[in-house]
Amino acid sequence: MAIYEYVSPCHFGLEAVLKKEITELGFEIVQVEDGRVTYRADESAVARANTFLRTTERVLLLVAKFKAETFDELFEKTKALPWENFIPRDGKFWVAKATSIKSKLFSPSDIQSIMKKAVVERLKQKYHLDWFAETGASYPIRVTFMKDEVTIGIDTSGESLHKRGYRRLTSKAPLTETLAAALISLTPWKKDRVLVDPFCGSGTIPIEAAMMGLNIAPGRKRTFLAEQWGNLIAPEHFARAREEADDMVLRNVTLSIQGYDIDRDIVGAARQNAMLAGVDAQIHFQAKPVAQFSSPKKYGFIITNPPYGERLEEKAAMPELYREIGMAFAKLESWSYYIISGYEDAQKYIGRTADKNRKIYNGMMKTYFYQFLGPKPEKKRVEDGDRQREAQAIPKKDFGR
């Protein structure tokens, strides 16, 4: 079975989360860089990575890495690559995206044009053709320049992997599913613990948590571009990955997940999205402002994405909103709460300095993942109490005198 290298991008600041996921799938890590992880595995990894990875936007089949500082250099080095090993005679190919950061070549459209010409010239020589019909499967090429280092990959995913297929209705500023899953992974939350999102919007954080708690693979119900690639990836790999995903679902688990939002209409949308994801029975959604939030539970987790005040007209409302957040959460003395926000004064108005603070780029927006840690549950005392109750429940035997 062929061995390839793959590149998966992620949000800046979340590389360690993606690396852990890739390692748990059994793939060999080659390199971790800002915003992406490179790994090595056989051809079945195309199906398994697309099906199981929660925190990447796509899986790229790595073609090459090289340095290029001029367009002539880019053309010649691209032309020298063995494109015939990847793209068949009737394959449809184009440079779908070019990104350049701190590099001498910075025009995406020029990079795309030069590279397309180079690939065409290579395939003309190898297939002895002057014109390509491009009527077959699609092989979109993606290229990234970072300090003149060129990374070229072919996209195996097609639609971005954050599109799980359940989110039909969204709020004004939703988190992507991949970012929501990564934030949950940065916390110690487990499926037997309470999780609340008091700014749930269209339900992304509660739904992703429910999918994680039930071990539902994010790509279980969608298709991927590489399923068309009969020349590279055997179709049975995708069938096996889906079968593996079905077998892994936990069907007899009850979760305690709640989502609240002040907007009644968006709460209705969250319910619809949860239903499409198949987790609606595991999440309680309700229209409620954060100021009214409380819980009788001694321990629990809050993971949430409140408004940042991105729009100028919203900024004036931020101090009062974050004061309300601080007052509501202060009543939950034993809870841990995790807040992603681009609002610079969040800690000031919450009234508490975060125990940990992680910088994460949500697209081009710099945000902070504020982590306010509560005490761990008194596990030993609970276990001792359970053992005592079990001992009392055991009937005593009469052995006589």
Phi-psi region of 280 (alpha: psi -120 to 50; beta: other; left: phi over 0): alpha
Residue 397 pLDDT: 36
Residue 314 pLDDT: 81
pLDDT over threshold 80, residue 246: yes
Residue 382 pLDDT: 46
Query: How confident is residue 309, by pLDDT bands cut at 50, 70 and 90?
Result: confident
Q: Using alpha carbons, select from 10, 11, 24, 6 the residue that is nearest to residue 215.
A: 24
The CA distance from 380 to 179, in Å, is 34
| Cβ atoms 46, 156 nearer than 8 A | yes
| Cβ atoms 151, 99 nearer than 8 A | no
> Please, how many CA atoms are within 13 Å of residue 356, restricted to the half-sphere of its CB?
11
Mean pLDDT of 295-308: 95
pLDDT over threshold 70, residue 388: no
The alpha carbon of 121 is separated from its chain's Cα centroid by a whole number of angstroms, namely 37
Mean pLDDT of 341-356: 96
Cβ atoms within 10 Å, residue 211: 26
Residue burial 165-177, b: 16+ Cβ < 10 Å; e: rest: ebbebbbeebbbb
Mean pLDDT of 171-190: 90
The CA distance from 57 to 265, in Å, is 29
Q: Using alpha carbons, select from 173, 204, 205, 213 the residue that is nearest to residue 273.
A: 204
pLDDT over threshold 70, residue 355: yes
pLDDT over threshold 70, residue 381: no
Phi first, then psi: what are they for 326, rounded to 5°? -60, -45
Percent of the residues in the chain that have a pLDDT greater than 70, as a whole number: 93
SS3 content of the chain, % helix, strand, coil (to 5): 35, 25, 40
The CA distance from 385 to 390, in Å, is 9
Residue 378 pLDDT: 78
The CA distance from 204 to 283, in Å, is 11
Q: Using alpha carbons, select from 297, 339, 331 the residue that is nearest to residue 192.
A: 297
Residue 395 pLDDT: 42
Query: How confident is residue 400, by pLDDT bands cut at 50, 70 and 90?
Result: very low
Query: How confident is residue 396, by pLDDT bands cut at 50, 70 and 90?
Result: very low
Q: What is the mean pLDDT of the chain?
A: 93
